[in-house]
């Protein structure tokens, strides 16, 4: 069965520092991978997605993610974090059946001034 | 940019009462979903709806739940007799068919069952 693991529940970084959020997936075939962000009281906004091709994908707000098949990972990165990036970040894999998304448990990002 | 809308944003109800959560998906999308997020937990798939019928449902989606697209624009989730454990944020999403398509999420309805 498909599953997604985000091992870090909370991460705190200083503003201007780099960021990496970890995501590991379990999926039998070629995965379709997504990162969503949820600001407090808001819905889920898509940051980026990977389907095939270049394993480094660029998203909105300066985020990027790298697909590594050998490690079953799809880690999210940003070179310089802004205070407005404080939010909860969810990694998800798209499932064949009905194209539903299977989410990880999320990582809450706190940004120190 | 088109967006998914949901009403109400918050709902408080008594245990055993029926609630209907409403969603207006993006107009030319064909797949519709409900997900829920219990406070502090992950977002969980409840049900998908395509071509006027349920295409898949999770084990959470028992007989107390139903979905409907009554008028070609709204997409509703009904909980027949709410339980305390139904308290959660409920998200509606819509997309074109295809794994490569983006699912667009609404802002959610926070349901509190007392």
Residue A62 pLDDT grade (very low, low, confident, very high; cuts 50, 70, 90):
very high
Across the interface, of B31, B56, B105, the residue whose CB is closest to A44 is B105
pLDDT at B100: 67
Provide, rounded to the nearest whole percent, the portion of chain A with pLDDT above 90: 74
Distances (CA, A) of B66 to A25, B13, B56: 30, 18, 12
Report in angstroms the alpha-carbon separations of B59 from B12, B62, B109: 24, 7, 21
Of the pLDDT bands very low, low, confident and very high (cuts 50, 70, 90), residue A27 is: confident
Phi, psi of B105, deg, nearest 5 = -105, 145
Please answer yes or no on whether A106 and B100 come within 8 Å at the CB atom: no
* SS3 category, A25: strand
Q: For the purposes of burial, counting CB atoms within 10 Å of the CB of B1, is it exposed (0-12), middle (13-18) or buried (19 or more)? A: exposed
d(CA A104, CA B58): 16
Which residue numbers in chain B have pLDDT < 50?
Answer: none
CB-CB contact of B102 with B48 (8 Å): no
The per-residue b/e assignment along B64-74, b for 16 or more CB within 10 angstroms, e otherwise, is: ebebebeeeee
**Whether B63 contacts B57, CB under 8 Å:** no
B50 in contact with A, Cβ within 8 Å: yes
Contact B56 A36 (CB under 8 A): no
**Contact flag B56-A97 (C-beta cutoff 8 Å):** yes
Average pLDDT over residues A8-24: 97
Quote helix, strand, coil % in chain B, to nearest 5: 5, 50, 45
Cα gap A77→A66, rounded to integer Å = 8
The tokens for B82 are 């709410």
Query: What's the pLDDT at A77?
Result: 98
pLDDT higher than threshold 80 for residue A69: yes
Q: What is the pLDDT of residue A63?
A: 97
* Beta bridge pairs of residue A61: none
Asked if B104 and A46 come within 8 Å (Cβ–Cβ), the reply is: yes
- Kind of pairing between the strands at B10-13 and B109-113: parallel
* Best of A39, A44, A108 to mutate (most B CBs within 10 Å, chain B): A44
**pLDDT tens digits for A96-107?**
777 889 999 999
Closest partner residue to A99 (CB to CB) among B4, B41, B98 is B98
- Phi, psi for B86 (deg, rounded to 5): -80, -10
Q: Is the pLDDT of residue A36 over 90?
A: yes
For residue A63, which of A51, A72, A75 has the smallest C-alpha distance? A75
- Test A32 with B100 for CB contact under 8 angstroms: yes
- Could you tell me where the beta strands, DSSP code E, fall in chain A? 3-5, 10-14, 19-21, 24-26, 32-38, 44-50, 56-58, 64-68, 73-78, 87-94, 101-103, 107-112
pLDDT of A1 above 80: no
- CB atoms B107 and A43 under 8 Å: yes
Q: Which of B51, B92, B93, B99 to mutate to test the interface with A (most CBs of A within 10 A)?
A: B99
Q: What is the pLDDT of residue B99?
A: 60
């Amino acid at each position: 069965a498909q599953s997604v693991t985000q091992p870090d529940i909370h991460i705190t970084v200083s503003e201007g520092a780099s960021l990496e959020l970890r995501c590991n997936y379990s999926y039998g075939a070629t995965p379709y991978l997504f990162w969503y962000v949820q600001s407090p009281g808001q819905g889920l906004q898509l940051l980026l997605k990977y389907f095939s091709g270049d394993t480094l994908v660029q998203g909105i707000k300066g985020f990027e993610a790298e697909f590594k098949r050998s490690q079953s990972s799809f880690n999210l990165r940003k070179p310089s974090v802004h205070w407005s990036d404080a939010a909860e970040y969810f990694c998800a894999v798209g499932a064949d059946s009905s194209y539903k998304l299977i989410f990880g448990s999320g990582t809450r990002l706190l940004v120190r001034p | 940019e088109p967006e998914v809308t949901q009403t109400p944003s918050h709902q408080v109800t008594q245990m055993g009462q029926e609630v209907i959560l409403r969603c207006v998906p993006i107009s030319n999308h064909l797949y519709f979903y409900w997900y829920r997020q219990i406070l502090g937990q992950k977002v969980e798939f409840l049900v998908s709806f395509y071509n006027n019928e349920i295409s898949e449902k999770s084990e959470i989606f028992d007989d107390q739940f139903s979905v409907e697209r009554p008028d070609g624009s709204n997409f509703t989730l009904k909980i027949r007799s709410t339980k305390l454990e139904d308290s959660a944020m409920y998200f509606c999403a819509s997309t074109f068919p295809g794994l490569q398509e983006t699912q667009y999420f609404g802002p959610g309805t926070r349901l509190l069952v007392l």
